[in-house]
Structure 1
């Protein structure tokens, strides 16, 4: 049999390269890369996710890695640029990701509470008792890309004929819901807005003095948070993830711990159409116009 050493060596090199590529691809598919918008301190996000990550790893038979991000924009860019597989978004960040990706992201599940989520306005000032009383005052939102800490509170202010940018003395962005509470309680601003879930958690943990800081307005309900994946995710994996969330039950210890940490009664399916009102509010507030996403460039 005629042997061609150079050709044999080339085939061997190609075979080895192919094997490495296949191996690398197989490894990549064994890791689910997860993140969340940084609406609370990084340590708190890690604490809340660990039991959920362990559970998903068991259900999916794959490693689940949580990667914290520095800001809301990074969570959007991470998903659409294939650096993340699944992200806990607010309604506004989902709308931004949907726009930035050209509708190539899919919201899988949301907490039952997210069907009628609310924001609260808080203050230490006894003279502030309604939205109109905020005129001439200093105020803090959360992150600029936050649904419950900026977009929807701004939307309700505008509906009450209060333009934060012209009617208030100064507007700040704290970056996170717990930071907004700290800004108000510390006297850095007269009032602020944050999501009701974080507020209730801080109150229940005794981390806010309700004799000094109080809620003076609670918004009507709106759709908010969800777990979103890229549209190019394997449909089988996507279904397994959704099924794992839907199977969480307060009647078993593991499910109870996860749901309590997520401040959820249960998870339910969701769809992109649920966030049409969020998209409309973003456009109305000038935070999402045409191809713009409101994300920093």
Structure 2
């Protein structure tokens, strides 16, 4: 054996086994961490089978951490709200790619809720205590703020006090518990809480529902291996309600099905964020 061949064989013998590839996944914390983990577990198992790689879900403490994790190569796939995607895309100089969204996310909506019988329109919120969700939430802050401004209600000057609950379910709890007079959250979480009997819709009621807008998506960095990105996208698009296992996954994701998406779909969110002074 030549000296080169001997060296090559020695290197191969002592080289560590190839580490198993891991797809690192997270999501904006718009619900309780335990709920996010519960929702993702079956989807994670499905992706492992489809991709042939280990899938690891890591919860983050806030919306900014989800953005930083993807941009700093600590995460590979993140469930973003429309506004969080815009923030990540602007921060990265266009290097974040949304690959799929739920069909429902094409025309997503926010609901305004209250227990106060005197509140029946957005204008009635003047002088009241109000709860948004997280500051970077699309459906819990940005879009509700935009519709308040359109109704000539300036949250910063016309409301008595603004609170940020941090999550949609926390907003419902704040309104139901009388900590605030009203609040806004995404319609999907509201409908889930009502269906599960976790909120009495006769006591806490919806008094305004926004028009539709583009919201959540699954995003990756542009430097992800193109073949892996294609397989990942196809895995989401292949989920089919006619298959009971797939239907269970889609139900947890509160999705009819997943469809392709693109950055241009979130242009209106970026405009709304800049107009509201939330994106510099």
TM-score tier (shorter): over 0.9
- 4+ residue stretches of structure 1 with deviation over 6 A? none
Instruction: Identify the residue that residue 264 of structure 1 maps to in structure 2.
Output: 255
1:15 matches 2:7: no
Q: Structure 1 residue 66: deviation in Å?
A: 0.4
Cα distance in 2 between the residues matched to 1:182 and 1:122: 11
Cα distance in 2 between the residues matched to 1:87 and 1:31: 14
Instruction: Identify the residue that residue 245 of structure 1 maps to in structure 2.
Output: 236
Cα distance in 2 between the residues matched to 1:155 and 1:243: 35
Q: After the TM superposition, which residues 79-228 of structure 1 pair with which residues of structure 2 at under 5 Å, given as runs? A: 79-228=70-219
Which ranges in structure 2 are unaligned for 5 or more consecutive residues? Answer: none
Q: Structure 1 residue 99: deviation in Å?
A: 1.1
Cα distance in 1 between the residues matched to 2:124 and 2:102: 33
Instruction: Identify the residue that residue 19 of structure 2 maps to in structure 1.
Output: 27
Q: Structure 1 residue 18: deviation in Å?
A: 9.0
State the number of aligned residues: 280
Q: Structure 1 residue 263: deviation in Å?
A: 0.6
Which ranges in structure 1 are unaligned for 5 or more consecutive residues? Answer: 4-8, 290-297
Q: Deviations over 1:33-89 (max 9, x none)?
A: 000000000000000000000000000011100000000000000000000000000
TM-score by length of 2: 0.96
Q: Please tell me whether Structure 1 or Structure 2 has the larger radius of gyration of its CA atoms.
A: 1
TM-score by length of 1: 0.90
Q: Structure 1 residue 27: deviation in Å?
A: 2.1
